[in-house]
Structure 1
Amino acid sequence: MQVKDITSRDFWRAKKRIAPYITRTPLVYSPELSEKTGANIYLKFENLQAIGAFKVRGAANKILSLTDEQKAKGVSTFSTGNHGMAVAHIASRLGIKATVCMSKAVPAVKVKAISRWNPEILQNWDSQDAAGVYCYELEEKEGVVVIPPFDDKEIICGQGTMSLEILEDCPEIDTAIVPLSGGGLMSGVTLGFKLTVPDVKLIGVSHQRAAVMIESLKVGHPIEMPEEETLADSLLGGIGLDNKYTFDITRDFVDETIQVSEEEIAKGIAYIMENHHLIAEGASATGVALAMREGYIKPGSNVAIIVTGCGIPMSQVKQIVNDHF
C-alpha cells in the first residue's frame, strides 16, 4: 500500500537508519488508567529521548537521508522549540554545521536550550516568519538544506517509527491516541500503523485554543489563525497554506480528532507526575487527558498513548502541583 509517495518500506528504512541516534523509548502499562477505563492503556514515553522530545526521530531521518554533498554544506531550521533542538543535536552528533534562525523576541531560555549543541544561532529578525524566509534564502544561495518541522516525507517517516516500536512491544494495540498540531507526528504514527495494521483506530487530540489543523479540517483546507495562550503551547502554530502532506493524511486516514480543555490538560500532567513519576509538557498530556475523560475509552480495548515531550517551565509544574495535589 502506498500513500502519496510514502510506503511501509519507508518507515522500516527510517527505523534502521535512525536507530543509532535515538532512544528506543519504553511502552509502559498504566495500571491506574487501565483500571479507571476498563481498557489496557500503555504510554509511549517519548519524553525520555535525549532532547526530551520525539522530534529527534524526524530530524535524524531527514538529516541522515541527505547526500554527503548536502551534509557538507550544512543544515538550517527556524524552529525555536523541540525541532530546533533536535536539528542542532543530530547535526552535532554527525559533525554537520547547523544554523538555527530565530527572531529577536525568542526567550533566552529557549536560546540556551538550543545552544547546548553549539549550532550557529542567528537572531537578526523581528519575527519568526522573517527568520524562516532567510533559511530558504540561505538554501537557495548556499545550498544549506532547510530541515522543516513537520510537512516533509522523511520527517513524517522518522516520527512514524514509534508506531513500529509500539507494535513490536504490543501487537494487540487496536487504538492509538496522538497529540495533533502541524501533523508531522500524527501523519507518521497514522501511516506507520495503517500501512502495517489497517484496522488500528487513530485519534488525534489537540487543545481548544487555536487548534489550526482541526479548524482547517472543518473548512476543508489549510487556514491561518492567531495563537492563543495554552498549557499545550507545543501544539500552537500553523500547518502551512501550501501544505503538501500532513493535511491530506490527517483528513484521509485519521479516524477521529478531538479537543481537550485546559483543566483536562493540567489533570493529565498531574496524572503522569503522580502515577509514573515523570514530567510531561502540556502537549504531551493531551492524550492522557482524553483517556481520563469519563466514558471515552472503550472497555476492553488496547490503547497506546504518545507522550511527546517534557519541555514545561518549572513555574507551570509548581502551579499544577499546588492545584492538584
Structure 2
Amino acid sequence: MIGLNDIQDARSRIVGHIISTPLVCSPALSDICGVAVGLKLEHYQTTGSFKLRGATNAILELSEAERARGVVAASTGNHGRALSHAARAVGSRATICMSRLVPENKVSEVRRLGADVRIIGNSQDDAQEEVERLVAENGLVMLPAFDHPAIVAGQGTIGLEIVEAMPDVTTVLVPLSGGGLAAGVAAAVKALRPNAKVIGLTMERGAAMKASLDAGGPVLVEEFPSLADSLGGGIGLDNKVTFATCRALLDDVVLLSEREIAAGIRHAYAREREILEGAGAVGIAALIANKIAVLRGPVALVLSGRNIDMDMHRRIVNGMSNSVGQET
C-alpha cells in the first residue's frame, strides 16, 4: 500500500504545479450537524477537480523517453482533463478513452486541451479495453485514473493538507469511485491521525468499490447514468492498489440516492455559494441527509470537482427533473 513517505514525496514533486486548496469552515453545515464542518475546496484546482494532483505526480515520475511515447487513460472526464493538462505542460501528448456516458461538457474540455479523444462503448470497462489496445499496438504509456501508486500518492496530498489545516480532525468524508482519492486521503490521514474515521461516499446505482468490498474482491458492475457521473465505472478485476487500501483503511461506505445528491448540489449553491458536480457534492449530501451513523467532529469533507454541465446545474437548483431520469 501507499505509505506516508510516498505521499510526502509526491507533495514535493507537484508543488508549483497544483494549487494547495483552502479548507474553510461551513457555518451552515456546522449548525445542521452540531459539530464543526470544514470544506476542502478541491474543486478550485486549475482543471476543476482533485484529479490534477495524481495526474501531475504520475507524469512527473515518467522518464523523458516515456513522455515522448505519449500517455493514455480511460476516464469519466476529470482524470482525462487533468492528464491532458499535465501532459501538455511537459510536452507530452495524451489520448483519453471515454464511454458514451461521459457528459459532453467534459469531453469537450479534454479536446480543448489537445488530447486525442476516443469515445468507446457504454462503460468505463469498454473504454479501458481501447486503452489496452493502444498500449499494445502503439506503445503508449498507460496512466490509469486511480489504480496506480503515483496517482494514489498524488491524491493523498489532500489528506496531508486536511490534517495541517484541521489538526484535530475526527471524521473525513471522501467521494469514492475507483478509490484513488479515498485510498490516498485515507493513507495520509490514518498515518497522521490513526483514530480519525475516513468514510467513502458514492451513489446507490453502480457503486463498484462498494460492491467489491462487500464481495471480498473486485467485481464487475453495471453502469448507470447518475448525477455523480464521475463516480461511475468499475475498479478493474486485476486491481492492484486501491481495493486493498480501501478495504484496509476506510471505516465505512455510504450510498446516496440521486435525490440526495441533487439536494447536496442545491445546498452547495444556495448556502455555500459553490458550484459543484454531483460527485463533488456527495459529502454535503450525506450530512444534510443525516446518512453518517455516528458523526464526530471536527469533520472535513472533500469537495472534489465542479465540472458539471451548467444547464443541468440550473435545472437541479431550480428543483426540476434532471437528465438521468430521476426526480430531484
1:251 Cα deviation from its structure 2 partner: 1.2
TM-superposition CA deviations, 1:80-125 (whole Å, max 9, x none): 50011111001111111222234688665433210121123345x5
Q: In the aligned structure 2, how far is the partner of 1:217 from the partner of 1:319?
A: 34
Change (3 A) 1:105 1:285: closer
Distance 1:94 1:154, change over 3 A: same
Per-residue deviation, 1:126: 4.9
The aligned counterpart of 1:273 is 269
Aligned-partner Cα distance in 2 for 1:318–1:121? 28
Residue 3 of structure 2 is aligned with which of 3, 7, 26? 7
Change over 3 Å in CA distance of 1:164–1:226 after alignment to 2: same
- Which region of structure 1 is more displaced relative to structure 2, 312-321 or 211-220? 312-321
8 Å CA contact 1:38, 1:299 repeated in 2: no
Partner of 1:316: 312
> Structure 1 stretches of 5 or more lacking a match?
none
Indicate conservation of the 8 Å contact 2:77/2:102, yes or no: no
Shift of 1:186: 0.7
Which stretch of the first structure deviates more once superposed, 137-146 or 294-303? 294-303
Task: Identify the residue that residue 58 of structure 1 maps to in structure 2.
Answer: 54
Native 8 Å contact 2:56 2:83 kept in 1: yes
User: Counterpart of 1:28 in 2: which secondary structure?
Assistant: strand
Instruction: Decide whether aligned partners of structure 1 residues 188 and 84 sit closer, same or farther in structure 2, where only a CA change above 3 A counts.
Output: same
Distance in 1, matches of 2:67 and 2:157, equals: 23
- What's the TM-score, normalizing by structure 2? 0.91
Question: Does the residue aligned with 2:319 lie in a helix, a strand or coil?
Answer: helix
Q: Kindly tell me: are residues 263 and 132 of structure 1, through their superposed partners in 2, closer, same or farther at Cα, counting changes over 3 Å?
A: closer
Q: 2:154 — aligned with what?
A: 158
Residue identity matched to 1:61: N
Structure 2 distance, partners of 1:202, 1:49, is 22
* Structure 1 vs Structure 2 CA RMSD: 2.2
**The one of 79, 83, 105 aligned to 1:83:** 79
Q: Secondary structure of 1:276's partner?
A: coil
From the superposition, tell whether residues 105 and 202 of structure 1 become closer, same or farther in structure 2 (CA, over 3 Å). closer
Find the counterpart in structure 1 of residue 145 from structure 2.
149
**Deviation at residue 222 of structure 1 after TM alignment:** 1.1
Q: Could you say if the C-alpha distance between residues 41 and 76 of structure 1 is closer, same or farther in structure 2, counting changes exceeding 3 Å?
A: same
Q: Is the 8 A contact 1:39 1:298 kept in 2?
A: no
Do the aligned residues in 2 keep the contact of 1:37 with 1:295 (CA within 8 Å)?
no
- Secondary structure of the corresponding residue to residue 318 of structure 2: helix
Aligned residue among 210, 213, 216 for 1:220:
216
More displaced, 212-221 or 141-150? 141-150
Give the conservation status (yes or no) of the 8 Å contact 2:101–2:225.
no
Post-superposition CA distance 1:276-315 (Å, at most 9, x none):
2111011111111111134847576111001110121223
Indicate the percent of aligned positions where both proteins have the same amino acid.
42
Question: Cα 1:298–1:90, aligned 2, differ >3 Å: closer, same or farther?
Answer: same
Contact 2:106 2:307 (C-alpha < 8 Å) held by counterparts? no
Residue 301 of structure 1 aligns to a residue whose secondary structure is coil
Matches within 5 A, 1:199-278: 199-278=195-274
Judging changes above 3 Å, is the alpha-carbon distance between structure 1 residues 37 and 94 closer, same or farther for their aligned structure 2 residues?
same
Gaps of 5+ in 2: 321-328
In the alignment, the residues of structure 1 paired with residue 81 and residue 318 of structure 2 have an alpha-carbon distance, to the nearest angstrom, of 30
Taking structure 1 as reference, are residues 126 and 265 closer, same or farther at Cα in structure 2, changes over 3 Å only?
A: closer
Corresponding pairs, count: 320
Aligned residues of 2:172 and 2:299 also touching (Cα < 8 A): yes
Contact 1:181–1:206 under 8 Å retained in 2: yes
- Give, as a single letter, the amino acid of the residue that structure 2 aligns with 1:53: S
Distance in structure 1 (CA, Å) of the matches to 2:130 and 2:187: 32
Partner of 1:187: 183
Judged with a 3 Å threshold, the aligned counterparts in structure 2 of structure 1 residues 88 and 219 are, in CA distance, closer, same or farther, namely same
The Cα shift of 1:61 comes to 0.7
